[in-house]
Chains A and B, each alone.
Chain A
């Protein structure tokens, strides 16, 4: 046994540290299109103290560390680009506290979205968190680190906006609390009225520290929910329609989708309007307000509400939406990846045309979807392409389509979400130099030995 493995075993026990090729291989890749790179070690800590010891060991040995949740960002963010230790956080799976009155939860860094959803359903039926459409094994911590979104994003913003406090193991191995939990027992604020230090960790893709605890806001869970789907074949109208609907402030979630398979959907843009309420009267009132807000488009026959069959309703109401994951195998190839830039609403029509145009150019199948963020200040637009994992040529074409999509959106002024290392470069190349300098200075200050997820957010 080599020295690093021996030290890891001493920290977490022999069952939870490995340098076997099976783990090095699997943890060296993700389901997306980025080039794999094998880990040297995989370790699964159970406590914050174990995380601290591992980080201190990594500093001493100058070995890099990549913290990992489920590894489903699809953009290679947990591929250990320079080898080293992949730290699988999923054994840190305790839901520590739910403060029902203040509507927040505190979870360990490996708690999954599925586990929290179930815990709230069973024990706090009036509360919910913003469940992403990603598979339920995805972790709360990883989701906020990448500025993920969920079912409540239209109402309350990015899931990272819902953070109420953090416990972070810094790249030096010290533990730091962020927000109200740093001065008292409560986790009701991630910063305000103090300086908001959560920004040192959210969006940094694990390069500035490891989240071992997350405080997260919870929201009222309404007794009933419903779905309406408005369809138009005019992508140019989408920003206006969204503006009208969001003006009502009646909608839980707004998602827009367009896809070429099955063929009946081709050429149309579907706006999923999710409504929630505590009574039939409230639901009816919200539904009426939404109808009224788009009546002009219906009257002009530019848009109409579609009939939703039972299976489709079930699929869309499901949260997380299992059918979204099934997109990966729509052509029996087992792969899909998406570039998901954050864009102002007005860029929707151009993006909607581009996703289809790139699919033709690179001979791949597309899905284009968007999710409105925080009442319409911006949206996430997903350029999604499927690929056959056994077809290297098709994988290469999908990769090119995604890269071209990223450059297109960046040129238009969009921000690349959970960017892979190439997309990070695209962002940094276009970034104000002083902003970039500030980012690099912060990173260097926090991680002097450059051990945290190296290769990410690195300027030349």
Chain B
């Protein structure tokens, strides 16, 4: 009987044991919740860090004094004045080069102003401060800047400006933008989707609707699951060996009469990305097709439809929202993936918009990587701005995916 009492305490012992158990339960519940709390805090810290980097004070000097060029305050210069200043003071070679890129007369006042700052005044950034510092220690920063850089001007700057979106890459952080990078990313998405969407949906249709249950189908299925887990940099190596080297005559455009490029083109990178997102595409499309109830297929067969007619007119339309959601996930992946692009050979310094599949290219994440790894803090600031652009793009896409899912979701 003694033994039994050990297992089933009674009276006071019972309640004290119970209290202990509840206490332990409470402690652990707190621990479980703190794990999520840590995740939330990390996310907050990440977003804070990005925003913190993208705004703040900047101290800069002009290498050349503005009064050498004009007597009016430089921020009030009109387009015509800027034009004449540039024409007079830039060397004719530099002026003609700019004129060839885009006729000077057709440029806006803002663009000319940037040229004026860049080419003639030669802005030189001395120091930058992040947002927290700028807000909390404004007076100290002003004193510090006045002492360390007596000639410098201090201003609060948002690195994320409309101009940041519309200007191409530049070697000076103050004038750099993400225009070529965003366009490059869009090209990549386009090429990847043109490849992955039809192939992925076709593959999913085959596996769900046609494939017999045999060893080959099992291998295909396992293989797709494995491909989804292959590190992205390995896809990059595949792209380097296959598209950049082996198929160079096609991907460089040499087969189509383009002679001035090598295989490191947006086409090679886009196809690499297409292969990278294919497993994701197939798995999502399969899920969508699986969710179409069998009764719909039976109804189609019942009125005499062939298998293809059933798939085309009943299965695919009902699976479409799921397939679209999958495509958007694939697009998000393409936009954010960096490693394969480095391997395939994205250029970090491209100032010309990509105009054909055979163009050299850069992409948003490549720029972020490039700017983050530079030592100067002004490049970190534009890296933060580029991250904001990328995250906003991704957020919009994902919101669209959720919206689509809710809008078209049908319950059977």
A, B co-complexed: no
Q: What residues of chain B have their CB less than 8 Å away from a CB belonging to chain A?
A: none
Binding site for B on A (CB under 8 A): none
